[in-house]
Amino acid sequence: MTNTPFPDGFLWGGATAANQIEGAYDADGKGLSVQDVMPRGISGPRSETPTADNLKLVGIDHYHRYAEDIALFAEMGFGVYRFSIAWSRIFPKGDETEPNEAGLAFYERILDELEKHGIEPLVTISHYETPLHLAEQYGGWTNRELIGFYERYARTLFERFGSRVKYWLTFNEINSLLHAPFMSGGIPIPEGGVPEQQLYQAMHHELVASARATRIAREVAPEAKVGCMVLSMPIYPLTPSPDDAVAVMEADHGNLVYGDVHTRGAYPGYFLRTLREKGIELDITDQDRDDLTHTVDFVSFSYYMSIAETADPAKKVAGEGNIMGGVSNPTLEASEWGWQIDPVGLRLVLNQFWDRWQKPLFIVENGLGARDQLVEVDGEKTVVDDYRIAYLNDHLVQVGEAIEDGVEVLGYTSWGCIDIVSASTAQLSKRYGFIYVDRGDDGTGSLDRYRKKSFGWYADVIRSNGASLTR
Ligand code: BGP
């Protein structure tokens, strides 16, 4: 194929997370994670114990149907599959000294299946799945002890799977911590919110843990490539006023600091200013500073939407967003869940990250959450999801543009390549997949899988290495 900007060996695939796909929440010695008490997603109330209305307890039963699912991924021609390991399958409470063998064995079976189909695994070590015990007994990532527990968990994974898994991500969307402390950092939220001092300390602990994992991987699994993972959301000035431009710069800094630390090995000056102005003093040891110098091999990120920002309080019309919001951009259309669709923003983000960090980039989440309708076409049940095809096509065209701009992109894994439970709303009706799963928001359904129209479309994109995209 010549008519494509995508380089040979570009990794095409899809992505999921354990808590949204596996189900089997208490099988084979698994402990509870924060997700097991979040029946309504990020903004809903948490439950004391797991409740039947929590769709994640069953998910799409990938725990038992993984072979069928991976075979469908292979049919689309996936070269890579991103999944996460549920921390509480490996260390059920999080603070044990010995791992749960049955949990490790499950991921061994997943790796066997991927290997059988020649699909490269891309593993997220922690994807919004902190063991509940660490949240309740330790206060989650506000507690320095979490670094040691995470270190033991990461070491266990590198020792066991390091020779089979080349690409690792330390924390999913690490920059979501301040915005979703319980889901992202296992930090219980008291009335009035978590004090900022504690949130920033938790952020520091995660950054140190991420760097330590990178250091351990170098020792234990020298072939492995370790990346960070950030939620990307380009921010546009609402007007051309310099004040709006400064508001954008400051909002941007709040997100870029994570990648800056991961790629440069120290906190940037603008972040120290933020801490000073907030009157926050972080507990940073000499060992922490040394750990932070272990920088990542690549940067990965999610991309769904962009947002705007303004310095003028009178013009602030809140926009819906993926975990973190901003000001609504009047030039863009939004999805049914209010996320503003902006393919060009993906090219901008790719260029910004590449210019800033000079590390290979991996797009590990992108897609459209939409309501789908199962229909019958030529005797086969399917979904005619032209809206999803249009969204993905237009974003991939922009990835091609960025590659032409000289950005090094390792691969692309579209989010929720099979329908899974939504992270923000805990719904099943917010679907991203190429594969429809028969399960509704009320939990009923056969769990049968059906190929959507986008399934064949994506297979063509992969087969042609992007040449079939409509420009
Ligand atoms: C990201 C998360 C994912 C995922 C995705 C889509 O923030 O890393 O876990 O779910 O967003 O979000 P949602 O499921 O809320 O539509």
Closest by CA position to 165, among listed 223, 117, 104, 216: 223
Taking the CA of residue 17 as reference, the ligand 1 atom at the shortest distance is 9
pLDDT tens-digit series, residues 101-154: 999 999 999 999 999 999 999 999 999 999 999 999 999 999 999 999 999 999
Res 175: pLDDT: 98
Instruction: Tell me, in angstroms, the distance from the centre of ligand 1 to residue 434's CA.
Output: 16
Query: What tokens does 19 get?
Result: 């808590």
pLDDT tens-digit series, residues 373-427: 999 999 999 999 999 999 999 999 999 999 999 999 999 999 999 999 999 999 9
Q: Whose CA is nearest to atom 15 of ligand 1?
A: 424
Taking the CA of residue 41 as reference, the ligand 1 atom at the shortest distance is 15
Q: Assign 324 a pLDDT band (cuts: 50, 70, 90).
A: confident
Res 55: pLDDT: 98
Strand-pair category, 307-309 with 235-237: parallel
**Ligand 1 pocket, Cβ-based, cut-off 6 angstroms:** 17, 172-173, 231, 302, 322-323, 365, 369, 415, 422-425, 430
Query: What tokens does 372 get?
Result: 């789908």
Res 323: pLDDT: 80
Q: What is the percent of the chain where pLDDT is above 70? A: 100
Q: Are 364 and 169 in contact (CB under 8 A)?
A: yes
Residue 25 has pLDDT above 50, yes or no: yes
Element (H, E) at 128: none
Q: Which of 122, 128, 130, 365 to mutate to test the pocket of ligand 1 (most atoms within 8 A of CB)?
A: 365
Q: Which of 302, 366, 413 to mutate to test the pocket of ligand 1 (most atoms within 8 A of CB)?
A: 302
Closest by CA position to 217, among listed 326, 103, 296, 102: 296
Residue 89 has pLDDT above 50, yes or no: yes
Read off the DSSP letter of residue 311. Answer: S
Instruction: Tell me, in angstroms, the distance from the centre of ligand 1 to residue 225's CA.
Output: 24
CA–CA separation, 166 and 164 (whole Å)? 6
Instruction: Tell me, in angstroms, the distance from the centre of ligand 1 to residue 422's CA.
Output: 6
* The domain defined by 11-463 carries CATH number 2.160.10.10: no
**Mean pLDDT (whole number) for 433-444:** 98
- In this structure, which amino acid lies at residue 9? G
- How large is the C-alpha radius of gyration of the chain? 21
CA–CA separation, 333 and 211 (whole Å)? 38
Element (H, E) at 112: helix 101-116
Taking the CA of residue 422 as reference, the ligand 1 atom at the shortest distance is 14
Q: Assign 271 a pLDDT band (cuts: 50, 70, 90).
A: very high
Query: What tokens does 85 get?
Result: 């390991």
Residue 284 has pLDDT above 80, yes or no: yes
Q: Are 177 and 202 in contact (CB under 8 A)?
A: yes
Cβ neighbours of 380 (radius 10 Å): 9
Taking the CA of residue 322 as reference, the ligand 1 atom at the shortest distance is 7
Instruction: Tell me, in angstroms, the distance from the centre of ligand 1 to residue 281's CA.
Output: 32
Phi/psi for 335 (5° steps) reads -75, 175
Instruction: Tell me, in angstroms, the distance from the centre of ligand 1 to residue 298's CA.
Output: 21
Instruction: Tell me, in angstroms, the distance from the centre of ligand 1 to residue 94's CA.
Output: 24
Chain-wide mean pLDDT for the chain? 97
Find the catalytic residue in 113, 206, 309, 365: 365
CA–CA separation, 255 and 274 (whole Å)? 13
CA–CA separation, 321 and 329 (whole Å)? 11
Distance between alpha carbon 112 and the CA centroid of its chain, in Å? 23
Residue 2 has pLDDT above 80, yes or no: no
Q: Which of 34, 126, 422, 425 to mutate to test the pocket of ligand 1 (most atoms within 8 A of CB)?
A: 422
Residue 256 has pLDDT above 80, yes or no: yes
CA–CA separation, 450 and 438 (whole Å)? 8
**Mean pLDDT (whole number) for 9-18:** 99
Q: Are 121 and 112 in contact (CB under 8 A)?
A: no
Q: Assign 1 a pLDDT band (cuts: 50, 70, 90).
A: very low
Q: Whose CA is nearest to atom 12 of ligand 1?
A: 423
pLDDT tens-digit series, residues 154-189: 999 999 999 999 999 999 999 999 999 999 999 999
Judged by DSSP in three states, 36 sits in helix
**Mean pLDDT (whole number) for 450-467:** 98
Domain spans, the chain:
11-463
pLDDT tens-digit series, residues 193-252: 999 999 999 999 999 999 999 999 999 999 999 999 999 999 999 999 999 999 999 999
Active site residue 108: no
Read off the DSSP letter of residue 466. Answer: T
**Mean pLDDT (whole number) for 87-99:** 98
Q: Whose CA is nearest to atom 3 of ligand 1?
A: 423
Closest by CA position to 210, among listed 305, 98, 78, 300: 300
Read off the DSSP letter of residue 331. Answer: T
